[in-house]
Structure 1
Amino acid sequence: MTTPINPKNYIEGLNGIRALSAFLVISAHWPGYLLSLKFGWIGVNIFFVLSGFLITRILLQEKKDTSLKKYLANFYYKRSLRIFPLYYAFLGVFSVLIILSLNIPSLLNNETFKGGYNAVTKDMPYYLTYTYNLKINFRYLLDLGDSSNQFFGHLWSLAVEEQFYLIFPFVVYFASVKRLKHIIIGILIICPLIRLWSALYGIHVFEDRYWLGEFIYSNTFCQADALATGAALAVFNFKLVKPYLFLFSMILICLTVGIINLIALRKSGYFLVEGKSLGFNFPAFWFVQQTKYLFVNIRAFYSYTLINVLAVSLILPFVKNKPIFLKFFKFKFVDYLGKISYGIYIFHNPIIAFLIIALQSFGLNNLDEHPILQVFTFILYLFVVIGISHLSYQFFEKKILYLKHKQTPMLAS
């Protein structure tokens, strides 16, 4: 087995993968059917796998000849500088915008606006503590009320990451490389089994099947294998002979499984899954209706794993210095989109929310009735999201990131 990769060695192309993932998520959330990719939610899992790889790589390097105090202080200090400032600034600014918008009478009956207002007034403690996914997980069991909203609903994924990284740095520090490999393999086996048990048990117990799909999608124990898949890339010495063959094989496998599921769902009279999803529609819908096909009913068991391996087929070639589509992924604009992808992810949903509210104020409730307008609106939307993310990165995030190179305050004192 090889020594873990030095995190100081910059890997070209990974920013491009971030950009691709961000675009997939944006497309999944786009309100018009014409320009939406219904399988775009897989971008979140690609983010998870990439994050697991990069963070584990850093942790393995930093634990060498370092005390636990210094190791943890360095990790959490740098992690906090990257994640917290923009996250909390975003919550503050958009909460204020929503509160100020109460002065506009026409918004008071707008469902999109009301969702945002309820999020600010009822769910803010969950957002502030990175526990919003727990609100989703337990809303049905504890009667916590509906948690869906267009403004902040996407923040569940950041909650999953932060919860995982509360524990994983300790695992990396105290475990030998050999033991860490065993732990990662254990996570890769146990998480799909948790999803399988949740699916088989849940469909017979819970009436709210949509919530069951949401639960599995947003639960840290159900998604931890995505982060562990990335960790495996940092720990194991995977051989890669033909990167393009690996990628296209995974695409073919995913397409085959998805289309088989799609055909089976249609034969069962289930039409909540669109053809554009290629059989990978939003996971919250996976349990709404059961079919006579067991492999369809338990697709949460294997579909997430397939997507995680698909993410590996994108990332591993760059890790092994056998990059694929390098001209695209290292193209300056694409690379820069990857650099600002955190901002793109943070801002994309609330901007969609304001866009929906604006369109509805003009009586445009269905963009698909106006295809030319939809294309124009989508292009304008991309300009706005990228523009705001660019300004955020250049004038806010970048200035804070410079502090990462300074000594951790806890250690300096």
Structure 2
Amino acid sequence: MQRQPEYFSQLDGLRAIAIILVILFHWFPEGQGINVLANGPLGVTLFFVLSGFLITRILLLSRAAVHETGIAQIYKHFLLRRVLRIFPLYYFLLFIIWQAKSIPFIPDINTDFYIYPAHYILYISNFLLEKTTNWSDLLSTLWSLAVEEQFYIFWPLVILSVPLRYMEKVIAGTILLGIISRLVLSFFGHNLGVLMPTCLDAFGLGALWAFVMIYHESPEIFLRNLKIFAAGGLAFFLFFCFTQVDSVLLTLFFRTSMAVFCLFFVAHASYRKGFKSVFGKILDNSALRYIGKISYGLYIYHMVVPSILLPLILKIVHRIFKVEIILTDAVGKTLSLALVITVASLSWFFFESPINGLKKYINLRTVRMRLNRH
């Protein structure tokens, strides 16, 4: 087992790129201009690959403690840490949306949350979205958080219980399962790609790099081969974007092509000191890394701010100062961007970070540090 650093600074830069891609996709017309590329799916896939890598790495480095504390203890600690990071902001958003419907001067909110609240509360909104296909739902973006939470429930049991000699094959099988599940589910009319099994190839590719990084003697060989596969993934991604084909190939390999391409950046950014090129300097830029640090808040708020908060502020200004402000599209997006960064920043410093600090009382980090000494 190779000694690994605890923090990969360039991954924050990649998180920033991922959330920027998502915001571009949701704030600008789909299939036009900058969104001729599938920026939203690419950004979400990058988040999935990042999660697959980081979560698997944590779990692999915790395996040696299984004989001391047992799988159940490590599993519990892992889930508690995930809960502290994800649940508070998620449920805060649901609370705000639920309360907003009773405030008369807030714009009407288009969401299925009011009709099917349990799907959102139980982190299964992706099942609802698969059924309704209602992408106009203000909270439709929460499908990816539901997928991640569902992945977090079963994946630790796999990584902590499978014998190490079989681990690489199990991870490879997980990648293949993601591709096959899309094909099988498409036969039953479930082809949105928002159900958790259909995303397993993205998570699995990130997990594969975590295994290679920790246990392979020469990760450089994997990285060299990855360049070839990433080039192929980029080619397929661009082909799918510009040809607009709707075929079994799209169902099978669109997400995989993005995931392989994203893996190239995740792997190189997390190996040794990351990218050493100009791109590495961009990823290490303090402003971009800050955006990455608050990316969860940006993801949570980026649909709410332009749809609810900005119109609400304009109505308050009109009511108090009797001034009606009509914004152009460009000004509206600029103000929305400034607002969403401000809200996400306040959320990080005064809400998320204090709660996140409670992780120090959950002993998973101590286990990792002890393992690194072996």
Letter in 1 for 2:209: L
Distance change in 2, residues 1:37/1:240 (3 Å):
farther
2:308 alignment partner AA: F
C-alpha distance in structure 2 between counterparts of 1:232 and 1:5, whole Å: 17
1:13 matched to 2:10: yes
Amino acid at match of 2:287: F
Instruction: Tell me what 1:264 maps to.
Output: none
Task: Decide whether aligned partners of structure 1 residues 120 and 306 sit closer, same or farther in structure 2, where only a CA change above 3 A counts.
Answer: closer
- Deviations along 1:265-315, one digit per CA (max 9) or x if unpaired, are xxxxxxxxxxxx445x7xxxx75xxxxxxxx44312011111110111111
1:75-224 to structure 2, matched below 5 A, reads 75-100=78-103, 103-104=104-105, 107=107, 113-116=108-111, 119-137=112-130, 139=131, 147-199=134-186, 201-202=187-188, 206=189, 212-214=190-192, 217-224=193-200
Cα 1:306–1:126, aligned 2, differ >3 Å: closer, same or farther?
Answer: same
Letter paired with 1:53: F
Aligned length: 340
One-letter amino acid matched to 2:207: A
- Aligned partner of residue 9 in structure 2, secondary structure: coil
Determine if the alignment matches structure 1 residue 49 to structure 2 residue 4. Answer: no
Deviations 1:9-55 (A, max 9, x none): 21120000000000000111114455646411210010000001001
Query: Which residue of structure 1 aligns with residue 340 of structure 2?
Result: 385
* Alpha-carbon displacement from aligned partner over 1:189-224 (angstroms, at most 9, x marks no partner): 12212222334x35xxx5xxxxx432xx10111111
2:21 aligned with 1:24, yes or no?
yes
SS in 1 for 2:8: coil
Matched residue of 1:298: which SS? helix
- Which amino acid counterpart does residue 120 of structure 2 have in structure 1? Y
1: CA distance, partners of 2:3 / 2:255: 26
Give the corresponding residue for 1:231. Answer: 207
CA contact (8 A) 1:4 1:235 kept: no
- 2:356 maps to which residue? 401
CA RMSD of aligned residues (A): 3.0
CA offset at residue 354 of structure 1? 2.8
1:243 shift after superposition: 6.8
Distance 1:71 1:297, change over 3 A: closer
The separation in 2 between residues aligned to 1:394 and 1:350, in whole angstroms, is: 19
Q: 2:287 aligns with which of 333, 341, 345?
A: 333
Equivalent runs, 1:348-363 vs 2, <5 Å? 348-354=302-308
Residue pair 1:48, 1:227 contacting (<8 A) in 2 also: yes
TM-score (norm 2): 0.81
Q: CA deviation at 1:76?
A: 1.1
CA 1:407/1:12 → structure 2, altered by over 3 Å: closer, same or farther?
Answer: closer
- Which segments of 5 or more consecutive residues in structure 1 lack a partner in the other structure? 108-112, 140-144, 207-211, 262-276, 288-295, 362-371, 409-413
Give the Cα separation in 1 of the matches to 2:182 and 2:293: 33
Q: Which runs of structure 2 are paired with 1:257-336 in the superposition (5 Å)?
A: 257-258=236-237, 260-261=239-240, 277-279=241-243, 296-321=247-272, 323-324=274-275, 325-336=279-290
Q: Counterparts of 1:315 and 1:159 in 2: how far apart (Å)?
A: 22
Alpha-carbon separation, structure 2, partners of 1:242 and 1:188: 16
